[in-house]
């Protein structure tokens, strides 16, 4: 009896042309980037999808797990279709390899919508919740019978993710505000090492003030400026972030020296 194998596309066998190409392929040390066949495959794949680089991975599960690990930190949260391959068919890989919290979304035909993502993402000001870091869509969706995601729905979900996720483009603003704060306090006579201000941290040395760190923290707090302790004996820190505006920085530049002048 003839056996027609419809179990999975993983049953696909190489054609004679493929086998011939495999036999004649140039090979080299792929770990040293000396395998010309792998290099050409990666180049073609990158060009096909409009990316600068691509990397050859033998399985989709491996690709999924590497992507999750690159894009997250342990304790982050992953949102996906409750019946997605990531959740059902990868042996708990997101938790095992990346330490991710996995929260399923209800889906119809393998798809959820942008509104569900917006509703599911935790408010990052709630420090008791995991950070919702990743949203995964499966296209085509296996459990839904190979259903596709229409492009407009993908775009809508991606737009919400960009709107709600880690505010990466705004980091430059945080850094600029930290620099402005450091320069303003330095000009007012506070002990700020400007050469150490490289990101969104500004360190204030309290030793020249003749005050203890906790006295300075209290004085600044009464004056309307919050700073925090550090591991260094005489240094405090101010950190700029998403909720600190340009107006806040200008006000802090004025308020902090005034508050400290009243204590010295």
Q: CATH class for domain 57-166?
A: alpha beta
DSSP 8-state class, residue 153: H
Where in the chain are the domains?
A: 18-51, 57-166, 170-261
Give the pLDDT score at 156.
95
4 alpha carbon, distance to own chain's centre: 45
**CATH of region 170-261:** 3.90.1150.10
The whole-angstrom separation of Cα 111 and Cα 147 is 9
Which pair of tokens denotes residue 18? 């493929």
Strand partners, 205: 191, 235
Mean pLDDT by 10-residue block, N- to C-terminus, for the chain (264 residues)? 78 91 93 93 94 92 95 95 94 96 95 95 86 93 88 94 76 90 96 92 94 94 93 92 89 94 79
């Amino acid at each position: 009896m003839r056996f027609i194998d419809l179990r999975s596309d993983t049953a696909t066998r190489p054609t004679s042309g493929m086998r011939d190409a495999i036999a004649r392929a140039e090979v080299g040390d792929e770990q040293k980037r000396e395998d010309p066949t792998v290099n050409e495959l990666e180049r073609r794949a990158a060009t096909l999808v409009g990316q600068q680089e691509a990397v050859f991975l033998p399985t989709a599960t491996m690709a999924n797990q590497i992507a999750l690990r690159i894009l997250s930190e342990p304790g982050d949260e992953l949102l996906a279709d409750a019946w997605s391959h990531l959740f059902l068919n990868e042996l708990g890989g997101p938790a095992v390899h990346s330490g991710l919290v996995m929260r399923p979304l209800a889906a119809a035909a393998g798809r959820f919508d942008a509104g569900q993502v917006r509703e599911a993402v935790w408010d990052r000001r709630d420090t008791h919740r995991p950070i919702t870091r990743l949203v995964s869509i499966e296209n085509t969706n296996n459990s839904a019978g190979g259903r596709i995601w229409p492009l407009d729905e993908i775009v809508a979900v991606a737009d919400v993710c960009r709107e709600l996720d880690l505010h990466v483009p705004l980091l430059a603003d945080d850094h600029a505000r930290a620099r402005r704060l450091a320069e303003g306090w330095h000009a007012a006579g506070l002990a700020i090492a400007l050469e150490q201000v490289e990101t969104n941290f500004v360190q204030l040395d309290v030793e020249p003030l003749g005050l203890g760190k906790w006295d300075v923290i209290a004085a600044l707090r009464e004056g309307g400026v919050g700073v925090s302790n550090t591991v260094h004996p005489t240094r405090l820190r101010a950190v700029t972030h998403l909720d600190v505006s340009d107006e806040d920085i200008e006000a802090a530049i004025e308020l902090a020296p005034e508050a400290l002048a009243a204590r010295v």
